[in-house]
Amino acid sequence: MGKTVLVAIDGSPQSDEALDHAIEEFPEAELFGLTVIDPAEAGYAVEGAVAEFPQGWYETAEDEAHSVLDEAVDRAAEAGVELQTASEIGRPANTIVTFADEHDIDHIVMGSHGRTGMSRILLGSVAETVMRRSTVPVTVVR
């Protein structure tokens, strides 16, 4: 079986660069794009149930996640690559590492820092935490 690569996607230019890097460096790999919806951005603890989130906030965040992932799928398709996608709810770093473990990911690629919003990927926070906790190699793209 071939290599599986997870790309953390948040719609930022850095996550676009991470996707481009994954496509170029792992042309034969099965690619997954993951967007994390962080409930902390709604002012609620991650441990709370989805039902406790303000419905409007969650629907907006979910729509935005799907839009970001659709753009990534189109970007990958332009390069002749199929990108499988998923959106998850949780703390970004923990969710990325857990997703990688649960889906037998061989490598994680992510931007050095992302946009403020849906899944902040900031070197020193999310990217650094993923690098420390991941059981697979992590490439951080600047």
User: For the chain, which residues make up each domain, given as ranges?
Assistant: 4-141
Instruction: Report the top-level CATH class of 4-141.
Output: alpha beta
Cβ neighbour number for residue 82 with a 10 Å cutoff: 9
Residue 122 binned pLDDT confidence (cut-offs 50, 70, 90): very low
Distance between CA atoms of 15 and 1, rounded to whole angstroms? Answer: 26
Residue-level pLDDT at 119: 41
The lowest-confidence range among 8-17, 59-68, 71-80, 107-116 is: 107-116
**Residue range 14-35: average pLDDT?**
96
Q: For the chain, what percent of residues have pLDDT higher than 70?
A: 82
The lowest-confidence range among 33-47, 57-71, 89-103, 115-129 is: 115-129
The lowest-confidence range among 62-71, 89-98, 115-124 is: 115-124
Residue 86 binned pLDDT confidence (cut-offs 50, 70, 90): very high
Bridge partners (DSSP) of residue 8 are 34
Distance between CA atoms of 71 and 60, rounded to whole angstroms? Answer: 17
Using one digit for the tens of pLDDT, what is the confidence trace for 39-50?
A: 877 765 445 454
Residue-level pLDDT at 114: 59
Using one digit for the tens of pLDDT, what is the confidence trace for 64-75?
A: 999 999 999 999
Collect all residues with Cβ–Cβ distance below 8 Å to 133 and sequence separation of at least 6. 93, 94, 97
Q: What is the pTM of this model?
A: 0.85
List, as one string, the DSSP characters of 64-92.
HHHHHHHHHHHHHHHTT--EEEEEEES-H
